[in-house]
Chain A
Amino acid sequence: MKDLELARGITRRQRFLRDRTLLLMTLPAVVLLLVFNYVPLLGNVVAFQEYDPYGAGITGSPFVGTYNFERLFLDNRFWEVLVNTLVIFFTQLVLFFPLPIALALLLNSVLNDRVRAWVQGIIYLPHFFSWVLVVTVFQQMLGGAGLIAQQLRERGIGGFDLMTDPGFFKFLLTAQSVWKDAGWGVIVFLAALAAVNSELYEAAAVDGAGRWRRMWHVTLPALRPVIALLLVLRVGSALNLDFEQILLQRDQVGPGAAEVLDTYIWWTGVRTGDFGYATAAGIFKGVFSVLMVLLANKVAHMLGEQGVYSKR
């Protein structure tokens, strides 16, 4: 492209002048990204400093090498939090992931257009709710003063409160995620289902395959690439649980069950002021996430799927 234009006799300067309006248009976005994404990226040097938020700041705080990382890796609390994060992640993965697929299969089998559109309209709705709203809805249903506790109390059973039960917390989080996003997750699978060539079903039916065998041999293979892709993405963001959702309930449930890596970073940094330590934990999280994506993608390739990026 460049050679072509040089051949046409347009210099870089001329191209710049020609496109200056376009460049000007990108300027606000570029400035925003530089300030709020790139500058903080550099701010990660705090992880190697004895950061003093009230005096010296980033430029003046002394460098302490890998001291913060040593503290992090020798801290039992950090490893507990990491394990807790992964436990919550796997609970969510196992219990949440199959639901949108099942819902999509169910919806796809509904022939009546209007019924389907209505059901879709309803199950997509909670996706647009804020986490604050979702958690408050759950509080009013499952909390100590909620609907179910109230019904039980009338029947003489007291003490029901799922919202503050540490042992139940990971299932509570899953239930909230399902309520909010399982419906929305259907969209991808519905699109994949709609793309299946219906002649395949017809041929299978003519060959005597029943409803379930058609699902097993036609539908599921068609969904496989999507499932693999979403699984890879999901595993890659294993440490990115819904931060707001957990932080909102951290006080009620207690940091024993509700502390995950993100809330831990927030707590040690913003709340207790140990910014170097918290930033080190943040860097660990970033590196760990990248490794998870690479690993998940590798597994997807080994299973013969494409994953996020393809093998060259």
Chain B
Amino acid sequence: MTAVLMDPQGVRETPLQRIDRTGRRPVWEEEPTRIGQGLKGVSLVAICLVVLGPLWVVLVTSLSDKKTITEAGGLVVWPGTITFEAYEALLSGGAVTRAALVSVGLTVVGTLFSMAVSVLCAYGLSRGNSFGHRPLLMLLMVTMFFGAGLIPTYLLVTGIGLQDSYWSMILPSAISVFNILVLRAFFMGTAPELIESARIDGAGEWRILLTIVMPLSRAVVAVISLFYAVGYWSQWFNAMLYIQDSDKYPLQMILRQLVLQHQVPPGAMGQAVSSGALSSLAVQMAVMILALIPVAVMSPFVQKHFRKGMLIGAVKG
């Protein structure tokens, strides 16, 4: 949703918190009917089940042994014997281990790279009257409205020889102009007096950025980093376009091969599956859980920062 913008004034209360949310019903509001309350409760539970139910089945199946899976006729809803065999088989070397490491590496390197470039650019453009900042801003914003298109981008990336390079999964979509603009808005809002006095005291731009601006913008830097990280972790398309060498596949590529294309990458499952001791279904599910864990862990942090009030709807009150 592009309509969701960050609040440039820095961390502050969301409108939600300004309203009395202590759970008291305003005096003028009629008491809810029993049926109404019941329906509301049922629909909330149903909504949560629709989201969590499938994830539960995937998790339980990934942790089931072969006997439980056979008895259940496939997917396991109610846990029987719990075993970590599938994870052990996947993570003891082989294609999935490799792909997981590639994904972790891409996410770490990519996020650091994207953040470094974005923060520098955002700070470089955050001074209202600096030389050339207006044309540079224009140069950034134009790219938000005119995408170059898939084919010219593909021809460029392959043309400069990035095929089968890890950089083909980082460089083409390394920075989001939207994120830079959000960072810039925050930097512009951080204590101009502090920055001014630091400058008078002789601090250079690098020093101001590292010792004043960055520590004051920790929350927004954290959220933008998480956004970049989720993007890198979830990346599949660039890998599909540019990576032919299956040794360089990230986890999402392997997940797709395994579950959607019913191909088993060589060496993906180790001895246990080929010898028949392990259910291939449990292995599929385990790869899904591996792909899910990092984002499931990150999501509460992102949400926490949102709730702190970093994210304000682009809504006029």
Contacts and interface: CB of A to CB of B under 8 A. Distances in A.
A, B in one complex:
yes
A41 B315 CA distance: 33
B35 interface: no
Contact of B117 (A19, A32, A140): A32
Contacts of B136: 26, 30
B260 A243 contact: no
A153 interface: yes
Interface stretch (A72-80, A89-97, A106-114, A294-302): A106-114
B47 A123 contact: yes
Interface size class, chain B: 35 or more
Given A129-B234, A141-B54, A179-B51, A269 B151 contact: yes
B29 A140 contact: no
Contacts of B118: 29
Nearest to B205: A21
A21 B203 CA distance: 12
Given A41-B148, A183-B51, A128 B315 contact: no
Contact of B148 (A37, A137, A206): A37
A1 B129 contact: yes
B19 interface: yes
Contacts of A184: 1
B3 A147 contact: no
The interface centre, meaning the residue of A43, A198, A244 with most chain B CB atoms within 10 A of its CB, is A43
Contacts of A248: 236, 256, 260
Contacts of B241: 270
Contact of A130 (B18, B21, B73, B233): B233
A29 B313 CA distance: 27
Contacts of A133: 234, 252, 255, 288, 291-292
Contacts of B236: 130-132, 244, 248
A119 interface: yes
Contact of B15 (A121, A131, A195, A243): A195
A106 B40 CA distance: 8
A22 B205 contact: yes
B104 to A, nearest CB: 15
Interface string B38-78: 00100110011011101101100000000000000111010
Interface centre among B21, B146, B260, by most A CB within 10 Å? B260
Count chain A CB atoms within 10 A of each CB in B74, B205, B206, B261 and give the residue with the most.
B74
Contacts of A201: 26, 28-29
Interface-central residue, A32, A131, A266, by most chain B CB under 10 Å = A32
Contacts of B173: 36
B3 A43 contact: no
A82 interface: no
B152 A113 contact: no
Contact of A282 (B26, B73, B120, B149): B149
Interface in B1-18: 1-4, 14-16, 18
A39 interface: yes
Given A26-B120, A124-B303, A140 B151 contact: no
Nearest to B39: A106
Contacts of B180: 29
The range of chain A's interface size is 35 or more
Interface stretch (B87-95, B154-162, B188-196): B154-162
Nearest to A41: B148
Interface in A13-41: 15-16, 18-19, 21-26, 28-30, 32-33, 35-41
Nearest to A290: B145
A29 B230 contact: no
A136 B255 contact: yes
Contacts of A18: 131
Q: Which of A57, A109, A136, A202 has the most CB of B within 10 A?
A: A136
A205 B28 contact: yes
Interface in A216-237: 225-226, 229-230, 233
Contact of B151 (A21, A122, A278): A278
A266 B47 contact: no
Nearest to A148: B75
B148 A139 contact: no
Contact of A5 (B29, B129, B237): B129
Contact of B75 (A30, A147, A187): A147
Interface string A247-277: 1110110000000001001100110000100
B175 A29 contact: yes
Given A22-B130, A194-B19, A282-B149, 17 more contacts: A25-B205, A29-B117, A29-B118, A35-B156, A46-B151, A53-B155, A115-B44, A122-B48, A123-B48, A130-B252, A132-B236, A140-B54, A140-B259, A140-B288, A190-B313, A265-B149, A265-B150
Interface of B: 1-4, 14-16, 18-19, 21-26, 28-30, 40, 43-44, 47-48, 50-52, 54-55, 57-58, 73-75, 77, 116-118, 120-121, 123-125, 127, 129-133, 136, 139-140, 143, 146-157, 159, 171-175, 177, 180, 204-206, 209, 230, 233-237, 240-241, 252, 255-256, 259-261, 284-285, 288, 291-292, 295-296, 298-300, 302-303, 306-307, 311-317
5 contacts: A30-B139, A43-B152, A128-B298, A136-B260, A195-B317
